[in-house]
Structure 1
Amino acid sequence: MLKSGSTSVTQSSESQLDAREHLWEEFQNAPLDDAEKERNLGLFIRSPLLARLLAISDVYREIVQIPGSVLDFGTWRGQNAVLCENLRAIFEPFNKQRRIAAFDTFQGYKSHSVDAQVDNENFRDGCYSTGEGYADYLTRLLGLHESINALPHVSSGHKVVAGDIKETLPQFIEDNRNLLVALAFFDMNLEGPTRFALDQILGRCVPGSVLVFFQLQRDFLPGEGYAYVADVLGKVRHELRRSVTYPSLCIVKIL
């Protein structure tokens, strides 16, 4: 079900959604100043969100010894990209060669681009639009986080890439002809762009590279599953497993 006005799918009950609303109210009205709120976010983070953060941390640790960039396809608000910059600072603070690139149209879905198999009114025009200027905002956020972390005077060259993946990814690869992919997140939901991105990057993956799919087995969003079956299963030597903490997150490790 969807909470009214939400753009995210949830399996929570009505009572759980109501409790979520109350938790949000407690966050807004907490008897803490802003600095204390920032240092005590654990008071308010819900277990499903914490589970996702832990899953991303587990995945990142798998690539610490692997060279290559982190690519985030369908970055939306850019949380994966920012998390990966901070995980880089925790697990490999002196590896400034670990570049992060976040890809999105930032304009949300267009009805003509939605897979025919996706019969859901919540995935239509404008869904997941971030509004004007968000790519620049995310670029600033990434820069701020990097400026707080070790070696702030050395830029990793992180990029936020706005536009249609079929246009932006080939150009990104052309501009970075030595690109290796250590980790790639796929959260575009749709088969077409997912298959395109896979086709572009699989040849740049190395043994140990990790591909992460957020919707691999969701029946109402089958695009990632179709792309995996068509482009990975039986064609690329790999192992497939799910996250321990966030079961809908599926992990492909290139062998």
Structure 2
Amino acid sequence: MSLLARQRQELILAEIRERGAVRVSDLAERFGVSDMTVRRDLDVLARRRLVDKVHGGATAPGETSAEEPEFAVKAGRQRAEKEAIADAAAAFVEPGATIGLSAGSTTAALAARLLEVPELTVVTNSMAVADVLSGGRPDRTVVLTGGIRTPSEALVGPVAVAALRSLNLDVVFLGVHGMTTASGFTTPNLMESETDRALVEAAHRLVVVADSTKWGTTGISTIAELGEADVLVTDSGLDPDARAVLEAEIDRVTIAPVRS
């Protein structure tokens, strides 16, 4: 039996509160309705200020361009997508490489995939990444920048920037808060943006790791333009139109299949 609009909206709201974000296409498939019906439901919830509409879906309300979620909150969102992205991104790490990992829940998931890579040197401003990679292999070196700690477990500020500007990295894996054509890759934290830019500038190659819900979201500060990325690794939930836009700007867009 089909659900009433009010029942469907309550279920949508419950999922957003649990996951932090939803996609229109996923909801349409789940409820057996059209994308337009789901968008109308989201319009209703948005007018009631219960959700924030974004490109292709909706997120929990209150995360403005300058509001930064805590690491534990971010880690609980889009888990399957982040795991798929981490699997795909690990293929870009060669034994013996010197890499950078920015702060973020997706880069922390990637760090877990690198535990068996030999002779790896990892530079990071992420306490979570450092925790994942500390100990274990004697041939692995982890360099943790100093700095001021943010809610996302990042170390930022002049100490971190100074440390990064003296380094040369083969590749940097950058997690972001949002990505749009107009603003590029962004973060809600001004100091983290400066630190991330220093990390990007230290690398010969930039790989951005961002789940599909980041498309259409804009943080207060730009880290890099879309075209500065050599590779974007995202998940199969990315809207086809968004994929076309990103592929026009970035040399390689890798789509990681999400396990059901």
Which TM-score applies when normalising by structure 2?
A: 0.47
> Looking at both structures, which has the greater relative contact order when contacts are Cα pairs under 8 Å and sequence separation is at least 6?
1
Structure having the larger proportion of residues in strand: 2
